[in-house]
């Protein structure tokens, strides 16, 4: 069954699990068939873990390789009152990781012995040469990294030569060889048997603080979980993967604490308040689509130190002031981003480029804002459904940001052209690089050849799965409560999608600031219910003329009216009452 609303996408029903397992779940917890089917599909025989990802079952930090050595070195620094320099990356994961290290270590050390650096886009990701020189000049004894450092072989060697030890906490894929650090705590190390290989950078930093506190006989610092959840969600690591629910348990516990008014970050609460986010109804979407972009705006259109200071401030007035600065940064970012997207699209039109035919978007602009390249690349990749590379040409060096689609591995693409690049890095879906301007034309030619030879990796429709069929009389308060037990939702644990066949519509209207949302009621087999279809107002006429259609939807709750509501609707062809 193909979607008539979202071109180029197809729906398919997820594979059905063993019927005896579904029946057993129903009998065990007295739930509806669609919910039992959902639990069986996602959890198999371990389905109970899905509805109870308890924080207290989360893995001990000592299971991480090199954790004992890292804790030993921190204990020695605390006993000697050494000066510690924390280095975090400038994205939300790095910022929150730096805040966790700072807030966790500060009570254990004398005043003014901890300093924090969160970098900037002007010097790029990771440990810079300038940071190394500052650490040496200011006579620090220990450097602790978060969300970076595992690839900083030369920089950590220079620190070592100057008598400065380094503890690396990171979650990026380790290179060969590893840097000469005192300890490298990273779940992706080949020697590591830690059950959750998908900790965010902030998650690894938090584990270090937990390991330290346990050795000191202190309580686990659960008040820091709001910061851990922030970076975990913003970095899009899986909340559940390979049967492990640790990240989901962390986020869930953090949300429950935030709802109770607990948590270490006064600034985070201030920013949420400015964004009209109800802490008692917090979702991963609130963090991912509202909070995180405001913090990231600091590294795209301002100073990332502002975002870091917001996360650690303990003064109400300062929290409000810093939150306002971030909102100003974000307004500037939105204006600049829209302008850059318009320039890129005009370039595609004026040069008669055909991205779908070419299989690649590769565009270059002079002195384009490097903090916005990734956002523009994501926009174009979503629009044209092909890998996209957006490059800012500097005086001698150009820097590019890449986004991928489908199964095309953009980092492997760069790896195949490493001989032309000054630096590069990333993962399957997103990466970046720098290249000499003289080499740029040759790189473009080779990238097009490479993409053409692998067009099959992305030139396929994006099939989206439906979790279960459902009837509207099964969507009630109990069903909504059952679904809530599966939250929080995100990568590795997506919001469930259901198929509602044989629907007709009434009371249709447009709502929202720009009337972009479609609202109304639908009827299925004589039972009516409210719905809202976000950003689908332009399809009002299609809904008005449709009868007997199937809907793919989420199930939400209308706080104002206190009723269950179908949300995020996609309309599928009336003749497709089932799913193929």
CATH code of 495's domain: 2.40.50.460
Burial 186-225 (b: 16+ CB within 10 A, else e): bbbbeebebebbbbbbbbbbbbbbbbbbeeeeeebbbbbb
Does residue 577 lie within any of the structural domains?
A: no
Query: Tens digit of pLDDT for each residue in 81-138?
Result: 999 999 999 999 999 999 999 999 999 999 999 999 998 877 778 899 999 999 999 9
pLDDT at 579 over 80: no
pLDDT digits (tens, 9 = 90+) for 494-511: 889 888 888 888 899 998
In a domain, 330, yes or no: no
Residue 349 lies in a domain: no
User: Quick one: 95 and 44 in the same domain?
Assistant: no
Q: Which structural domain, as residue segments, surrounds residue 390?
A: 360-458
Can you give the CATH number for the domain in which 167 is found? 3.90.1640.30
pLDDT tens, position by position, 378-408? 999 988 889 999 999 999 999 999 998 877 8
Q: Indicate yes or no: pTM above 0.95.
A: no
Same domain, 39 and 65: no
Which domain-ending residue is among 424, 440, 458?
458
Residues 74 and 197 in one domain: yes
Query: Is 276 among the domain residues?
Result: yes
421 shares its domain with 399: yes
* 56 CB-contact burial (10 Å; exposed 0-12 / middle 13-18 / buried 19+): exposed
Longest dimension (CA), the chain: 77
Contact partners, residue 208, CB within 8 Å, separation at least 6:
61, 67, 70, 71, 74, 101, 144, 167, 169, 185
Which of the listed residues 321, 346, 381 is the one where a domain comes to its end? Answer: 321
CB 459 within 8 A of CB 489: no
Q: Are residues 317 and 233 in the same domain?
A: yes
Assess whether 271 and 300 both reside in one domain: yes
The answer on 166 and 41 residing in a single domain is: no
- CATH of residue 443: 3.10.310.30
Domain annotation covers residue 578: no
219 in a domain, yes or no? yes
Give the count of beta carbons closer than 10 Å to the beta carbon of residue 89: 26
Region 319-345 average pLDDT? 95
pLDDT at 492 over 90: no
Task: In whole angstroms, give the CA distance from residue 492 to residue 239.
Answer: 5
Lowest mean pLDDT among 46-55, 274-283, 371-380: 46-55
306 and 364 inside one domain: no
Which range, of 244-248, 414-418, 454-458, averages the lowest pLDDT? 454-458
Asked, for residue 28, whether it belongs to a domain, the answer is yes
Burial class (CB in 10 A: 0-12, 13-18, 19+), 62: middle
Do residues 478 and 404 both lie within one domain? no
Per the model's pLDDT, the better-predicted residue between 512 and 204 turns out to be 204
Q: Are residues 477 and 403 part of one domain? A: no
Angle between the 92-105 and 225-234 helix axes, to the nearest 10 degrees? 160
CA–CA separation, 50 vs 485, rounded Å? 8
> How many structural domains comprise the chain?
3
Q: What's the rounded Cα separation, in Å, for the pair 566 and 576?
A: 20
pLDDT in tens, 292-325: 999 999 998 899 999 999 999 999 999 999 999 9
Whether residue 155 has pLDDT greater than 90: yes
- Closest to 330 (Cα-Cα) out of 307, 360, 358, 355: 307
pLDDT attached to residue 575:
37
Indicate the average pLDDT of the chain: 88
Q: Residue 205: which pLDDT band, with cuts at 50, 70 and 90?
A: very high
Q: Give start and end residues of each alpha helix (H) in 174-315.
A: 201-215, 225-234, 246-259, 266-274, 284-285, 292-301, 304-312
pLDDT category of residue 5 using cuts at 50, 70 and 90: very low
- 258 and 406 in a single domain? The answer is no
**Cα dihedral sign for 101, 107, 109, 113?**
positive
Flag whether 136 is in a domain: yes
Ordered DSSP codes for 439-463:
GHHHHHHHHHHHHHHTGGGT-S-EE
Taking only Cα atoms into account, the Rg of the chain, rounded to an integer number of angstroms, comes to 25
Residues 67 and 187 in one domain: yes
Q: Is the pLDDT of residue 57 over 80?
A: no
């Amino acid at each position: 069954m193909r979607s008539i609303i979202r071109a180029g996408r197809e729906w398919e029903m997820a594979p059905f699990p063993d019927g005896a397992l579904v029946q057993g779940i129903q009998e065990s917890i007295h739930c509806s068939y669609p919910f039992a089917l959902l639990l069986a599909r996602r959890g198999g025989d371990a389905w109970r873990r899905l509805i109870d990802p308890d924080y207290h079952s989360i893995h001990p930090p000592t299971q991480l390789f090199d954790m004992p050595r890292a804790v030993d070195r921190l204990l020695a620094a605390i006993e000697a009152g050494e000066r510690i320099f924390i280095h975090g990356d400038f994205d939300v994961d790095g910022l929150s990781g730096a805040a966790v290290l700072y807030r966790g270590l500060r009570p254990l050390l004398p005043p003014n012995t901890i300093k924090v650096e969160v970098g900037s886009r002007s010097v790029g990701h990771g440990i810079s040469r300038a940071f190394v020189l500052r650490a040496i000049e200011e006579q620090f004894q220990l450097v602790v990294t978060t969300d970076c450092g595992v690839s900083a072989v030369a920089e950590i060697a220079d620190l070592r030569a100057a008598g400065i030890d380094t503890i690396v906490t990171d979650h990026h894929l380790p290179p060969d060889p590893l840097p000469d650090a005192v300890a490298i705590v990273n779940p992706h190390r080949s020697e590591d048997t830690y059950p959750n290989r998908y900790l965010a950078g902030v998650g690894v930093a938090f584990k270090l603080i937990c390991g330290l506190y346990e050795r000191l006989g202190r309580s686990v610092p659960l008040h820091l979980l709001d910061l851990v959840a922030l970076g975990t969600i913003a970095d899009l690591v899986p909340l559940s993967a390979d049967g492990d629910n640790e990240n989901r348990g962390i986020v869930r516990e953090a949300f429950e604490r935030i709802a109770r008014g607990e948590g270490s970050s006064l600034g985070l609460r201030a920013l949420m308040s400015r964004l009209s986010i109800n802490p008692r109804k917090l979702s991963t979407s609130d963090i991912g689509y509202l909070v995180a972009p405001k913090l990231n705006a600091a590294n795209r259109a301002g100073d990332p130190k502002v975002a870091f200071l917001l996360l650690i401030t303990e003064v109400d007035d300062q929290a409000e002031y810093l939150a306002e600065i971030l909102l100003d940064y974000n307004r500037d970012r939105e204006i600049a981003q829209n302008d850059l997207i318009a320039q890129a699209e005009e370039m595609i039109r004026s040069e008669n480029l055909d991205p779908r035919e070419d299989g690649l978007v590769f565009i270059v602009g002079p002195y384009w804002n490097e903090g916005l390249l990734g956002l523009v690349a994501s926009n174009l990749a979503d629009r044209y459904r092909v890998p996209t590379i957006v490059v800012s040409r500097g005086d001698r060096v150009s820097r590019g940001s890449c986004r991928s689609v489908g199964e095309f591995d953009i980092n492997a693409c760069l790896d195949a052209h490493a001989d032309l690049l000054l630096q590069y890095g990333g993962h399957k879906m997103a990466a970046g690089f720098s290249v000499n301007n003289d080499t740029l034309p040759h790189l473009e030619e080779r990238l097009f050849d490479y993409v053409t030879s692998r067009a099959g990796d992305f030139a396929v429709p994006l099939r989206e799965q439906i979790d279960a069929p459902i009837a509207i009389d099964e969507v009630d308060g109990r069903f909504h409560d059952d679904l809530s037990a599966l939250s929080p939702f995100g990568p590795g644990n997506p919001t469930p999608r259901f198929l509602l066949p044989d629907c007709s519509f009434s009371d249709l209207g447009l709502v929202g600031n720009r009337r972009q949302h479609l609202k109304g009621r639908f009827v299925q087999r004589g039972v009516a219910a409210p719905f809202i279809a976000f950003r689908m107002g332009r399809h009002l006429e299609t809904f008005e003329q449709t009868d007997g259609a199937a809907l793919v939807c989420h199930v939400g709750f209308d706080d104002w009216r206190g009723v269950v509501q179908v949300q995020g609707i996609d309309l599928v062809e009336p003749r497709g009452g089932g799913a193929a």
